[in-house]
């Protein structure tokens, strides 16, 4: 949780309310100007130089990994084991991005007629703004920053106002690795600073991870600037479908992992469980039993918790109110969402049966809240799964390969899994969705695509030309 004074941003621990970090609010003009002054020099360096600099960054993070994980855990409330996993992904991102750059944006020679040759190369855009989310305050922005730097861009990074300490730590690691100060700039602030950065006339593009509402506003804003790259990674109202699955316990585990890992604060978290009506009751009993055993606690608790609090009390209030709203719309509570600690945002998983409602709400409820829909046929299940404007992640739990073939062919999502959770995507693969989940610029392995643009050159050592038709005799 954060609050601001006239010139300062203060971050507190969601689990305890203790002040964790405070820092001065920055100025977008200053940070963009610094990046603008530095990017050409960085871009002119050989690719091997930039790659080695990023490898030093990975080594710095590796050396500081425990301190980094501790900070992330305290600032987000996520369990320490999960924060350590996030730091590991920050380190791994460097080698993955190096490989991706070589594969996706490498220099090539193309076939060309006559004595000429055709060359394909890539250039950086210039200064790229990065707006990061709070749920993975290091991994997700780093997934933009590393490939942007490898390609030769300079970056201005504004972390979420809810997790500024983690953002500042990340940038300090770049500094310690010898990345030039002007090439990676940190902008501390809230919504005003974010708007100033996104709308700045001197950036060449914006790489965004966050809510659909903000992403759609950015899409409208950038409609008048087609010269600037815009990559949107937004949320999802993700379905997990359980059909023809005799192993009820494993299905229940996959549902719980999908819906409640990270306290449901993942863009790929399952928001809707769609199940064969005949399997619904035994599956729900198994899910309920598992939920009752989940350890919910502060990040460093022993035994290690499965999940911690949501990010702040405002988020917790929205979720509990959303549960009540769904009930008022005809939903039948199966597992009530409860506040465990007065004044702190610890929530128990909430499950509500929306099968008999016609007034569906197509929103991303970013937390441990799962809606249930019972279906009579598999075709009905797919139709219900596609009944959303989003299209990020979807999963089928089934023993029937033919059902998966039909699911894969008909589901609208950028990530389609089989007998795996909806979340936990690999950085070695593209990551993105359709509809309100993104603008067809997938990140992770494909981030290289939006961090540089292709330049095709027809080249010859000498100028030799003639006009063979259409000339009068001389």
> Among this protein's residues, is 267 annotated catalytic?
yes
In this structure, are residues 157 and 141 in contact, taking their beta carbons and an 8 Å threshold? yes
* Residue 97 to residue 448: CA distance in whole angstroms: 7
Q: Which of 31, 86, 161, 267 is catalytic?
A: 267
Q: What is the 3-state secondary structure (H, E, C) of the chain?
A: CEEECCCEEEEECCCCCCEEEEEECCCHHHHHHHHHHHHHHHHHCCHHHHHHHHHHHHHHHHHCHHHHHHHHHHHHCCCHHHHHHHHHHHHHHHHHHHHHHHHHCCCEEECCCCCCEEEEEEEECCEEEEECCCCCCCHHHHHHHHHHHHHCCEEEEECCCCCHHHHHHHHHHHHHCCCCHHHEEECCCCHHHHHHHHCCCCCCEEEEECCHHHHHHHHHHHCCCCCCEEEEECCCCEEEEECCCCCHHHHHHHHHHHHHHHHHCCCCCEEEEEEEHHHHHHHHHHHHHHHHHCCECCCCCCCCCCECCCCCHHHHHHHHHHHHHHHHCCCEEEECCCECCCCCCCECCEEEECCCCCCCCCCCCCCCEEEEEEECCHHHHHHHHCCCCCCCEEEEECCCHHHHHHHHHHCCCCEEEECCCCCCCCCCCEECCCHHHECCCCEECCHHHHHEEEEEEEECCCCCCCCCCCCCCC
298 is catalytic: no
* Among 86, 233, 298, 364, the one annotated catalytic: 233
| Residue 144 contacts residue 271 (beta carbons within 8 Å) | no
Phi, psi of 112 (to 5 degrees): -150, 145
Structure tokens at 189: 């602030």
Only one residue has tokens 């959770």, namely 421
| CA distance readout (Å), 95 to 7, 147, 167, 378 | 38, 10, 21, 41
Catalytic residues: 233, 267
């Amino acid at each position: 949780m954060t609050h601001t004074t006239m010139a300062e941003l203060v971050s507190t621990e969601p689990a305890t309310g203790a002040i964790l970090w405070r820092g001065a609010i920055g100025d977008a003009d200053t940070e963009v100007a610094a990046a603008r002054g530095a990017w050409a020099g960085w871009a002119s360096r050989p690719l091997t130089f930039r790659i080695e600099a990023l490898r030093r960054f990975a080594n710095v993070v590796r050396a500081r990994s425990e301190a980094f994980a501790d900070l992330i855990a305290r600032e987000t409330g996520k369990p320490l084991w999960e924060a350590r996993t996030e730091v590991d992904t920050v380190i791994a991102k460097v080698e993955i991005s190096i490989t991706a750059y070589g594969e996706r944006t490498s220099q090539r020679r193309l076939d060309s007629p006559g004595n000429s040759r055709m060359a394909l190369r890539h250039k950086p855009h210039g200064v790229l703004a990065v707006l990061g989310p709070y749920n993975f305050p290091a991994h997700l922005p780093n997934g933009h920053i590393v490939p942007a730097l490898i390609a030769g861009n300079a970056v201005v990074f504004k972390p979420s106002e809810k997790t500024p300490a983690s953002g500042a730590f990340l940038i300090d690691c770049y500094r310690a690795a010898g990345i030039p100060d002007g090439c990676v700039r940190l902008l501390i602030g809230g919504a005003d600073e974010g708007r100033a950065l996104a709308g700045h006339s001197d950036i060449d593009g914006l790489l965004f991870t966050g809510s659909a509402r903000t992403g759609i506003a950015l899409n409208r804003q950038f409609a008048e600037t087609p010269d600037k790259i815009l990559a949107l990674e937004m949320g999802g109202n993700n379905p997990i479908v359980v059909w023809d699955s005799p192993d009820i316990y494993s299905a229940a585990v996959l549902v719980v992992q999908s819906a409640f890992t990270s306290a449901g604060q993942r863009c790929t978290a399952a928001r809707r469980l769609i199940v064969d009506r005949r399997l619904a009751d035994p599956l729900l009993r198994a899910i309920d039993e598992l939920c009752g055993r989940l350890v919910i606690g502060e990040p460093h608790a022993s035994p290690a918790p499965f999940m911690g609090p949501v990010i702040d009390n405002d988020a917790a209030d929205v979720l509990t109110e959303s549960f009540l709203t769904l009930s008022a719309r005809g939903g039948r509570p199966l597992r009530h969402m409860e506040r465990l600690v007065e004044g702190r945002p610890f929530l128990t998983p909430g499950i509500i049966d929306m099968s008999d409602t016609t007034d569906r709400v197509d929103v991303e409820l970013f937390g441990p809240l799962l809606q249930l829909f019972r279906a009579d046929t598999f075709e009905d299940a797919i139709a219900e799964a596609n009944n959303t404007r989003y299209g990020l992640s979807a999963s089928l739990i089934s023993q029937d390969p033919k059902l998966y073939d039909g699911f894969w062919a008909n589901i609208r999502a950028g990530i389609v899994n089989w007998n795996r959770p909806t979340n936990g995507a690999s950085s070695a693969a593209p990551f993105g969705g359709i509809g309100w989940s993104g603008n067809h610029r997938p990140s992770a392995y494909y981030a290289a695509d939006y961090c540089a643009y292709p330049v095709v050159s027809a080249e010859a050592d000498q100028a030799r030309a003639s006009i063979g038709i259409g000339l009068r005799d001389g």
